[in-house]
Amino acid sequence: MTDHKTDHKTEHKITYCRICESLCGMVAEVQDGRLLSLRPDKDHPLSTGFACQKGIAFTEVVNDPDRVTTPLRRRPDGGFDEVSWQDALSDIAARLSEIHRRHGSGAIGCYFGNPAAFSYAHPLAMMLFSHGLGFGTHLYSASSQDTHSRFMASQLLYGIPSTVPIPDLNRNRLLVVMGANPLVSHGSVLTAPRIRERLQAIVRRGGRVVVIDPRRTETAAQFDWLPITPDTDALMLLSLLQVMFAEGLVDYDRISGQARGVEWLADRCAAFPPESTASATGIDPSVLRTLARDLASTPEAAVYGRIGTCAGRSGTLTSYLIDAVNLCAGNLDVPGGSVFGELGVPGERWVMRALGAVLRYDHRRHTSRIGGFGNMIRTEPATMMAAEMTTPGERQIRALIVSAGNPVLSVPNGAEIRTAIGGLELSVALDLYLTETSSACDYVLPTTTMYERDDFPLPFQTFHVTPFRQATEAVVPPRGQARAEWDIIDDLMSRMARRTPVFAALAALRAPARLLGRRLSPRPFADAVIRLSRGGDLFGLRRGGLSFAALVGGNPHGAIVADQIRTNVLNNAVTYPGGRIRLRHSEIGVEIDRLASRQDPAGFPLRLIGMRDTRSENSWMHNAPLLMRGDRGPRAVMNAADAAARGIGDGDEVAVRSPFGKIALPVSLTEDIVAGTVAIPHGWGHRGGGWQLANRVGGANVNELTSSDPGDVEAVSGMAWLTGVPIEVERT
Ligand code: SF4
C-alpha cells in the first residue's frame, strides 16, 4: 500500500475514488492516521493522473467537523444524545426482535442508497440482513430512482437484470448517447475513466458521437447535438427500427440466430415511420432515416442510454428499444458495438442462468403490497415506501433501516417519507451526516467513508470498458467511533441470532472465526471472485495471477486483465435456455400501445427534465467547502423564448408547479434547451439536518414536483417517474 515515505510520519498511499463509477486512481497523503490530501494517481493505468474536483474535495468529507462520529439517539424534543455502541445496538436489536416476533419480517423495511454499490461488503450486508429476517422484508435501493427500468428491460431481453450491454468505447466509430451526460457524470453503468478523451478519440479515428437530448448538455456541446422533446425517446427508437425493417437493413438470418421474436418486433414497429413521430419528438424524419442507415452500415456503432431514458413514463420500453436497435443494426455483441462485460469465472454461464431463473421467479412471486410491482433484484420501488409505512394491514412497515441513503430528497414526494418515519416504532440510519432523512430517525449510527475501509468494486466489474481490477486497504482508520456498514449489520445480526435460522447459521460461522482471532467478513468472497475471474490466480493454478492480496500488495495501481472486452459471448450473457434474446413480451406490446393513449393534464404545458452538475453527487457532497464556493444551489434552466412569453428574465425567482407539487428557485435562460423544456438538478432541498453548509445553501427539492401515486410510477418496473413531468413556470 505504501508508495514511499517522505518522512517518519507522512505516507502516500495508493487507492481509488468511489464517488462515481469512473473509479479514478488516487494517492492519499496521510499523516499520523489523518488524511491530509488526495491527488490523482499518475500511475493508474486507466485514469492516468485524472481526478475531478469532487474526488479531490473528498478530504473535506473525511475530515468534516459536521460528520457524525458517535452513535446518536434522538430525544423526544428532536435533538440527539450520544450513546455507546453497546447501548444503541442492544436497544435496536431488542426492539427489532420484538417487532419481528409480533408482526413478522413484513413489518421491517431496509433502504440503501447509491454509495452502497461502491463497496463489496455493504450491499451483501443489506441483502443478508433483509433476507435473513425473512422474505417478507421490504428491501429498497436508489435503483428505483435511476436504473430499475434498465434492469427490467434486461430481465425481459436476456432473462437476468444484471446483463446490461455497454458501448465498446475503445473501438466505437459511431456512438449515439441518449439521456446521458458522460462529460459531467463520468459514466453511468459504464466504467471508463477519462471518458472525455475516450469520446474525443472516437472523433479522432474518423468516427462520430451524436448526443440525443432535450438540452445541449456539456457532452452535446462538444459533439453533435440532436435535440429531442422530453420523454419521447421510445417513439424515436421505434421509428429507427421501422426504417431499418422497412428499408431491408436488418439481416434476418443473422439476427434470428441471436434472438427470437424479430418478426413480432418488426410488426410492432411498422406503425411508427419517422414522419408519424416527428411532431412528438421534434426530430426531422430525414435526419432519423439517415441515422438509422448510419447505425446499420457502421460496423462499430452503438446506442447508449442512461438515466434520462430510464426515468420517463416508458423507461422499460425505451431501454428495451435501445438494445433492439443495437441488435437489429447488427451491432450487438460485436467489436466496437454494444457489448457484454463478463467476469470470466469458470462456469459463469451456468451460475448466471441459475441466478436469472431465481430472479425471474422472485419478480413474479413477490410484489409490493402497495401498487403490486414485482421485485427487481429483490428490491421494491422506493416510491411506495411512504405508503408502505402508513397504510395499515399485514406487512405494514413498522421499523425502517436506512443505510447511505437520503430518500427524503431522492424519492418522489420525499416529504411523505419524513412524516412517515415519524410514525414508526423504530427508525435507524447508518450515515456520515445528520441528513434530511437520518435526522428524522430514532438512531443515527456513524459509518466509515470509503477511505476508512478496504474495498474492491465488485458490482462494477462487468461495466469496465477495459477489463480491469483494483483493490485497496483502508488508507486511514475510522474517524471517532465510525464503523463500516458490514460491521454494524453483522453486530446487529449477532445480537438477533436467535430470531431467525439465517442469523443463527451466521452465528455458528462467527464462533470458529473468533477462535482464529478473525471477524466474519465477506472479504474471502471478494477474494474468490478476483482469483477465479479473468486474470485471477485460480487459487494457485495460474502463476502470477491476481488475488485480493496480490492486488493491494503487488498491483496497488490496479491491473488491466484484457485489452478489450470479449465479444461473441451472447450465449453467456443470455440466461434463457438456448441462449437467445427474447424480443416478444406482452408487457412491451402493452407499453407500445400506451404511447398512443398518453394524456397530459391541462395547464402544464412545459416538461421537466433532470440535469447533473460537476460539483454535486446526488445529495451527499453539499457540505464540502471546495464544492460549494461561489453561487451554489439549484437553478431552473429554461428556454429563453418560453421565459419571454411568461415575462420571466434571467435570474428571476420563479415558481415551478406540477400537478403534484410546487417549488421556488431562480431561473437561468438559454437557447440551448428545446422549447417547452425546463431542466432542474436533483439532490437539493437541504434543511433540518446537521450539515451546516448544505443547510445554508438549502435549495429547492425537485422531487416535490414528482408523484408517489402508484398510477404515476412506470408500470413495468416500478421506476420513479422523474423526467417529462408536466409543469408550468411563473414569475414570483
Ligand atoms: S470522476 Fe468520479 S471517480 Fe473520478 S475523481 Fe471524480 S468522482 Fe472520483
Looking at the chain, the whole-number percentage of residues with pLDDT higher than 90 is 95
Within 143-204, where are the H helices?
A: 143-146, 148-158, 182-185, 195-204
What are the pLDDT digits (tens) for 516-530?
A: 888 889 999 999 999
What integer is the mean pLDDT of 292-300?
97
Q: How far apart are CA 285 and CA 247, in angstroms?
A: 14
Q: Does residue 667's CB lie within 6 angstroms of at least one atom of ligand 1?
A: no
Q: Is 38 in the pocket of ligand 1 (CB under 6 A)?
A: no
Contact indicator for 561, 544 with CB cutoff of 8 Å: no
pTM, two decimals, is 0.96
CA of 19 to the centre of ligand 1 (A): 6
Contact between residue 469 and residue 545 where contact means Cβ atoms under 8 Å apart: no
| Segments of 7-59 assigned E as strands | 10-16, 25-31, 34-40
Take atom 6 of ligand 1 and give the residue whose Cα is closest.
52
Q: How far is the CA of 181 from the centre of ligand 1 (A)?
A: 14
Whole-number Å distance between alpha carbons of 637 and 344: 45
The C-alpha atoms of residue 326 and residue 313 are separated, in whole angstroms, by 22
Q: Are strands 426-431 and 399-403 parallel, antiparallel or unpaired?
A: parallel
DSSP letter assigned to residue 180:
-
Give the 3-state DSSP-derived string for 269-303, with helices as H, strands as E and coil as C.
HCCCCHHHHHHHHCCCHHHHHHHHHHHHHCCCEEE
Q: Is 186 in the pocket of ligand 1 (CB under 6 A)?
A: yes
Q: How confident is the model at residue 8 (pLDDT cuts 50, 70, 90)?
A: low
Confidence at residue 154, expressed as pLDDT on a 0 to 100 scale: 98
55 within ligand 1 shell (Cβ under 6 A):
yes
**Which atom of ligand 1 is closest in space to residue 40's alpha carbon?**
5
Is the confidence at residue 6, as pLDDT, over 80? no
Q: How much is the average pLDDT of 565-569?
A: 96
Average the pLDDT over 318-330 and give the result: 98
- Is the CB of residue 51 below 6 angstroms from any atom belonging to ligand 1? yes
Q: Is the CB of 17 under 6 A from ligand 1?
A: yes
Residue 556 has pLDDT above 90, yes or no: yes
In ligand 1, the atom with minimum distance to the C-alpha of 47 is 4
Is any ligand 1 atom within 6 A of the Cβ of residue 199?
no
Whether the CB-CB separation of 530 and 469 falls below 8 Å is answered with: yes
Given a contact cutoff of 8 angstroms between Cβ atoms, the answer to whether 185 and 195 are in contact is no
Amino acid sitting at position 24:
C
Which set of grid coordinates corresponds to residue 154? 434486461
Measured from the CB, is residue 635 less than 6 Å from ligand 1? no
CA-56 nearest atom, ligand 1: 5
Distance CA 699, CA 692 (A): 13
Comparing CA positions, the residue from 422, 367, 412 lying closest to residue 385 is 412
Kindly state the average pLDDT of the residues 341-350. 94
Q: Which is nearest to 28 in space by CA: 41, 19, 18?
A: 41
For residue 323 the three cell numbers come to 438494445
Substitution site in 59, 114, 118, 186 for ligand 1 pocket (most atoms within 8 Å of beta carbon): 186
Ligand 1 centroid vs 632 CA: distance in angstroms?
20
pLDDT in tens, 58-85: 999 999 999 999 999 999 999 999 999 9
Q: Is 657 in the pocket of ligand 1 (CB under 6 A)?
A: no
Mean pLDDT for the chain overall = 96
| Cell numbers given for 507 | 452465528
User: What mean pLDDT comes out for the span 439-443?
Assistant: 98
The amino acid at 505: A
C-alpha 98/C-alpha 91 separation (Å) is: 11
User: Which of the residue ranges 90-104, 158-172, 591-605, 672-686 would you say has the lowest mean pLDDT?
Assistant: 591-605
Angle between helices 586-596 and 233-246 (to 10 degrees): 110
CA of 20 from ligand 1 middle (Å) equals: 5
H/E/C letters for each residue in 365-403? HCECCCCCCECECCEECHHHHHHHHHCCCCCCCCEEEEE
Q: Tens of pLDDT along 472-493?
A: 999 999 999 999 999 999 999 9
pLDDT band for position 1 (50/70/90)? very low
pLDDT at 2: 47
If you search the block for the grid coordinates 409543469, which residue do you land on? 727
Our answer on whether the CB atom of 24 is closer than 6 Å to any ligand 1 atom is yes
Distance of alpha carbon 230 from alpha carbon 281, whole angstroms: 8
Q: Which residues on neighbouring strands pair with residue 380, listed in sequence order?
A: 140
Residue 620 pLDDT > 80: yes
| Ligand 1 touching residue 52 (CB < 6 A) | yes
Which atom in ligand 1 lies closest to the alpha carbon of residue 16?
3
DSSP state of 711: G
- What's the CA-to-centroid distance between 58 and ligand 1, angstroms? 10
Q: Phi and psi dihedrals of 691, rounded to 5? A: -90, 100
Q: What does the chain come to in residues?
A: 732
User: What pLDDT shows up at residue 518?
Assistant: 82
Averaged pLDDT, 148-166: 97
